[in-house]
Structure 1
């Protein structure tokens, strides 16, 4: 299961490349580049460089088993990448370990033929490898390896490659990543295929351009270990492939900067070193939501929420809440206007501007309506109930309470940072938490036999409205996109802003009990 916001613990079982471009060395770089913690069990030692492999030494299978046991007996492994194993004994050892431990993500790169053309698998090991393939969730052969596994000619077209990938998937029960890197032409597509998937055999197909470079040493190792790492984060193969393919294209494009070797040089795993770890769409927002799991549970447990649902919340408490909310929305509208001004696209600018308008016009209408009908419970400037005659407008005479003032001050401080991403993250909990609380209350409220007579039914219905839910989804998507574009430092500032706003949301719900 994906661990949102957590650092994946990824074990590579593969051969060692002393030149650093492939095998264990490439795997560990890829895992780190994609935000994981890398571990390694060495199945083979090679003497190789960018021009080829000159010797292979395979340690005893018992020592490989000892490495695997040492790691898994102490550390929970979130994902496994399997590369060069070399011998039948090593393959059988890995198979037995997989059957015992059942890691949640297993990516098998059936290393048989190196980029240089050197054969890296002993002839008597192919039968053992065939028995290992069904233990993997995803297979990532290059086209020559795909042909060798099927004992067929190497596919010459993309259509032939897809068909061959589907045959291997049908035969093994595993998903297969079909890679177009060995085909001729400027295009370089990849596809995830699963012959037995209920939604159809082709899960994702992503086009790509061929990067003009000879630095392709270790691309298969790098891609498969990166995929295992991202899959442990997202739990979605299609999303994982999308972000990994984009990263690898950048690694190939930047490879000339390394100036390593005189043959097929390595890719530049850390070409994005000044940026944050590449994220799949939705992944950053999911991690923000996971960060506030404790705060959300505390909101659900507040007496205010329970009494609001039951209809037993004292009117003075609800009136205090609404008057403070109206005052908050006045400040929040200015913050959303600032988010709009900082937004990088016209679509985002328009969305946040519409949100600012809604704060003052649409959402405030509920406050005006309810308070005008309950004038005797409108709090005064000291926060105590006071007489207030309906005026046709908002029956609000209170000053900002301490929580309201602190929350608005926090948002204004985020606004002063000048960062669109940070300010969007600070503004998001007012959408997201309200939408979740409102939807949960509404689902239970709608099932009540006395729903029509519920004193707070209008408020509950407003925040479960589909238009508000759609606005929330868009706010989440825009903030997520900003987070994926942000630097590592800015991402951390976004997390802090989002968490602080979420805590203020909790305090805002609890304020009527303490201040009304």
Structure 2
């Protein structure tokens, strides 16, 4: 790590007032109802759902649709209680408790499906995840064939459908997909038919990769197919993986409000649950996953001061290297950057500041200490007063395209999503690159500027001086320290979510610096002949 980078790691110094970069209600503990069958071995069904919900920060509730006699080797018998009793369970819960999300698993027969559909129409929960349990990984059928059509009619009531590949094929009346491309194609067809989002899972395919993909053909995602890659975990202990994933997604969605963010938070947790499954030593067959692998024995998961911040700095390294290689940054350093490119950048930054200040205000509102509340509140104020003035002064004498750019919108949307995640740690990790990367880049460019003799004719001298002053550096150190402190108090799952939010913001920083070039190239493309 360079001396410059290490200067921003946590120190005990007090920070001066910062100047951040210029440039259905969600709940922290969602109440999640699982509607599914029971597994007496504890690996799948309701038992897996409740563990998964708790492991991902939710309060779990359960309505039992079926009783099974099963263990790690397979299902021996299934008993489906009267559908009227399921209705009584559902109504007893919803009459008393506000439900933030619902996960639906094994339903068993047509009468049970009808009862669930009727209740959904009355209760109208904000988040519904449907795991269309038709056949277990062991090959045991868990849904009567006569009920398959009724299950298909339930699909449009779900916000997310999570079939395994066999169930995906059965729902479409098609052969089983034998590769990832075929599975994605089937996911698109099911999403179009059901008018909802489908999670296509690559766990049952051959090979070392294990991707998952969110598919929606109606514009509800950033793109029709959002792929989240992952490595395959070599283990026979995968009992309950599908149940655990679907209930975790319901819980995460009720906290985050974004399917992609939910999948990116849940997938590392599930990979860890598979990786650590053998430690449970449950059964002699296909054992269960380790839902609470991230909860180390007391005292074993503590972080030393600065340890998490150092890990974040390492995460940011590739993005900083990329930033320094951008034509925009090189031109900014030597003054050769065109005024058109700089004007577009500042115009986007001015738009960005409005959203960023709101996010900083949210951090101030939920900060755990008065000192941190004041820090973020001053950050929001400085954001609008100091830096916006620099932008207004420069832009007031130029004609600039001030329309909201796609990168600006995506970045602000990401920060706003983090601000309502319910996690203070995730929020401060998401805003940190706007301090840290900017401080490092600003200090580096200012150093080059001074080495060149601080030429008075440099067109962007004011900008370089603003982002390289000691006040901003001190504020950055404080933001890093606050984030590191939040990580020390967080669970391992939350730390993973913090690192993900930080990495996503780093990537947006890269795209933000490169946006003027992309915009100029798009503007120069001639209109197609019609």
Q: Report the TM range for the smaller structure's normalisation.
A: 0.5 to 0.7
* Equivalent position to 2:376, from 410, 423, 432: 432
Cα deviation, residue 230, structure 1? 1.1
Count of matched residue positions in the alignment of Structure 1 and Structure 2: 343
Query: Residue 166 of structure 2 aligns to a residue in which SS?
Result: helix
Query: Residue 310 of structure 2 aligns to a residue in which SS?
Result: coil
Give the whole-Å Cα distance in 2 for the aligned partners of 1:260 and 1:474: 47
Distance change >3 Å, CA 477–CA 249, structure 1 → 2: farther
Contact map agreement 2:306 2:481 (CA 8 A) in 1 = no
Distance change >3 Å, CA 343–CA 113, structure 1 → 2: closer
Query: Residue 344 of structure 1 aligns to a residue in which SS?
Result: helix
Query: Residue 42 of structure 2 aligns to a residue in which SS?
Result: coil
Q: Any stretches of 5+ residues in structure 2 without a counterpart?
A: 1-23, 299-304, 318-366, 391-462, 496-530
Distance change >3 Å, CA 35–CA 345, structure 1 → 2: closer
Q: Say yes or no: does 1:3 pair with 2:26.
A: yes
Cα deviation, residue 71, structure 1? 0.2
Aligned to 1:86: 108
Give the whole-Å Cα distance in 2 for the aligned partners of 1:185 and 1:58: 38
- Aligned-pair RMSD on alpha carbons? 3.8
Give the whole-Å Cα distance in 2 for the aligned partners of 1:188 and 1:89: 36
Aligned to 2:68: 46
Contact map agreement 1:111 1:145 (CA 8 A) in 2 = yes
Query: Residue 251 of structure 2 aligns to a residue in which SS?
Result: helix
Cα deviation, residue 35, structure 1? 1.2
Q: Say yes or no: does 1:66 pair with 2:95.
A: no
Distance change >3 Å, CA 190–CA 482, structure 1 → 2: farther
Give the whole-Å Cα distance in 1 for the aligned partners of 2:288 and 2:377: 46
Structure 1 residues 79-130: Cα deviation after superposition (integer angstroms, max 9, x where no partner): 1000000111111111111111111111100000101110100011111101
Aligned to 2:486: 483
Aligned to 2:130: 108
Distance change >3 Å, CA 114–CA 347, structure 1 → 2: closer
Tell me: higher relative CO, structure 1 or 2? Use CA pairs within 8 A at least 6 residues apart: 2
Distance change >3 Å, CA 343–CA 207, structure 1 → 2: closer
Give the whole-Å Cα distance in 2 for the aligned partners of 1:65 and 1:224: 22
Structure 1 residues 113-169: Cα deviation after superposition (integer angstroms, max 9, x where no partner): 101110100011111101101100000000000000011111111111111111100
Q: Say yes or no: does 1:344 pair with 2:327.
A: no
**Residues 26-41 of structure 1: matches in 2 within 5 Å?**
26-41=48-63
Cα deviation, residue 200, structure 1? 5.3
Structure 1 residues 33-75: Cα deviation after superposition (integer angstroms, max 9, x where no partner): 1111110000111111111111111111110000000000000
TM (normalized to structure 2)? Answer: 0.58
**Residues 48-447 of structure 1: matches in 2 within 5 Å?**
48-197=70-219, 201-202=223-224, 204-274=226-296, 343-344=309-310, 347=313, 428-438=372-382
Give the whole-Å Cα distance in 2 for the aligned partners of 1:199 and 1:272: 29
Cα deviation, residue 202, structure 1? 3.4
Give the whole-Å Cα distance in 1 for the aligned partners of 2:76 and 2:376: 58
Give the whole-Å Cα distance in 1 for the aligned partners of 2:487 and 2:156: 35
Structure 1 residues 449-496: Cα deviation after superposition (integer angstroms, max 9, x where no partner): xxxxxxxxxxxxx9xx9999998899768855763565449x99xxxx
Give the whole-Å Cα distance in 1 for the aligned partners of 2:233 and 2:184: 22
**Residues 449-468 of structure 1: matches in 2 within 5 Å?**
none
Query: Residue 20 of structure 1 aligns to a residue in which SS?
Result: coil
Contact map agreement 1:188 1:208 (CA 8 A) in 2 = yes
Give the whole-Å Cα distance in 2 for the aligned partners of 1:341 and 1:64: 49
Distance change >3 Å, CA 431–CA 92, structure 1 → 2: same
Cα deviation, residue 20, structure 1? 0.5
